[in-house]
Structure 1
């Protein structure tokens, strides 16, 4: 049995996340703020409350506040990833989302925002999350999906091919919505749901976008990334291509963030289940007012 090699350099992820938290650039959390508002609205639609909730990601406290605002949990634990946020009071725990320090059936609600895309073994992490939930516990998460930063990927690739004759991977790969839904099912979640919401952000130049990604701690952490820094010539050519191919009439460029929201429940006997094949009380022919034909 072959072992899937790691895609991401988690040590580099920790360093860049810590650097971004220390810098705390004003406004750099705009995407996380939008996601936190959406997650809060989704929690408000759930007609039940939970005992203990976990904000799996923790940093900035925005998701913790969203859970509190929704009023759906008796207690909320903030779990900062890799390092504690230096701008907030100490979290309830600092953990690695690839190896959750949560006992089986120990919490009732887990919410995550814009972090799970950096996990090497996402199927394994989803299984851990499902096991940590008590029966009828709820999981809710948002992460970037396929189509995210497609303009940046296109511009960097074309610039490198033009100038160097070859291109290195510069933008992280993102999972497709359907694939993420399948992973929820494989992890054992009941009533799994995935949906897609696309946010388009506009910038004056590609460099302004790169500055925001750096401030988010979201630059490439690919393990097999090129160790050779991208040249100024390639960067400037990429910026030109970006402006030529992905700008609006006013000259500002577009950056797409395709946000996939996942939700699922830890199985419980009270949940709705599909009917067994052949258990219907009426035939389709009766419903349509037609005569049934036997083959």
Structure 2
């Protein structure tokens, strides 16, 4: 397994961001928490034991609870500092899943799976932690997220030094996420993408928001060389040249992959085996035999 993320650094930055919460900095987490709650609300089921995995502020757990679809919810976080007063909370690293097999009927993961070093393994462990016919729902930043920032930082570094180092973390493609769900053993998987565009006056408030989210570069292979203010001034110029609207404000894309999948259960619908159809396609479509595709004229 390749170690991409410095988990101690990820945890420290998330905890610092939570302690020093800036107004509006959690906008992305708030947005996906509302979206997950809306999707949960239309599921005609009641889930007795729900778990929120590394949801930061806990808003995903709170909104899920308000849907009336769950009896109780437990939160898992990297530190007890994330707990509200008197709230029970299980402490575990992002790469850890402290759940017994078949112990949860619902698992929610809002904006944390992209920071796990072994995503395929984590998905397998989540599926095993679900009771039969249990539901997994997640929001995962996907390919396209911060594409503009990645482009201008790369261009600036090449221009100034002739080389490049990773400054924006890699994000998964939606097709890869769907394939991982199937490989992990989830049934009835659903994967879709929502793109959100946020506008800023310049690159500097965008980068402040990223730090305030606890999302500054945690890659093990990140450059340790100090970066001058001149570097970011040039990056801001390139950002404005390439991604500014007519009013001068720049665009930043957040591409969120929404995921759901079920733990297998005998009651679930299963696809028919090839050749098991009881009716001809032409009969189903009520197409006269002499008008079937490929018939002689």
TM-score (norm. length: structure 1) = 0.95
Q: Give yes or no for contact 1:192–1:263 (8 Å, CA) kept in 2.
A: yes
CA distance in 2, matches of 1:96, 1:49: 29
Q: 1:93 to 1:204 in 2, by over 3 A?
A: same
Give the number of equivalent residue pairs. 290
Aligned to 1:284: 281
CA distance in 2, matches of 1:31, 1:42: 17
CA distance in 1, matches of 2:33, 2:207: 22
CA distance in 2, matches of 1:74, 1:134: 15
Any idea what SS the aligned residue of 1:85 has?
A: helix
Could you list the runs of 5+ residues in structure 2 that have no partner in the other structure?
A: none
CA distance in 1, matches of 2:288, 2:135: 42
Aligned to 2:24: 27
Aligned-pair RMSD on alpha carbons?
Answer: 1.5
Any idea what SS the aligned residue of 1:161 has?
A: helix
Q: Give yes or no for contact 1:199–1:257 (8 Å, CA) kept in 2.
A: yes
**1:67 shift after superposition:** 1.1
CA distance in 2, matches of 1:282, 1:88: 58
Deviations 1:119-169 (A, max 9, x none): 010000000000000000000000100000000001111111111111111
CA distance in 2, matches of 1:209, 1:174: 18
Query: Please, which of 49, 58, 83 is the counterpart of residue 79 of structure 2?
Result: 83
Structure 1 stretches of at least 4 aligned residues deviating more than 4 Å after TM superposition: 291-294
Q: Which moved more, 1:161-170 or 1:207-216?
A: 161-170
Q: Give yes or no for contact 2:201–2:248 (8 Å, CA) kept in 1.
A: yes
Q: 1:78 to 1:144 in 2, by over 3 A?
A: same
CA distance in 2, matches of 1:44, 1:115: 22
- Whether 1:129 and 2:126 are equivalent positions in the alignment is yes
**1:98 shift after superposition:** 1.7
Any idea what SS the aligned residue of 1:197 has?
A: strand
Deviations 1:9-42 (A, max 9, x none): 1111111111111111111001111111101100
- Whether 1:72 and 2:69 are equivalent positions in the alignment is yes
Aligned to 1:250: 247
CA distance in 2, matches of 1:86, 1:46: 28
Query: Please, which of 79, 90, 93 is the counterpart of residue 93 of structure 1?
Result: 90
CA distance in 2, matches of 1:274, 1:48: 22
Any idea what SS the aligned residue of 2:278 has?
A: coil
Aligned to 1:216: 213
Could you list the runs of 5+ residues in structure 1 that have no partner in the other structure?
A: none
Q: Give yes or no for contact 2:56–2:82 (8 Å, CA) kept in 1.
A: no
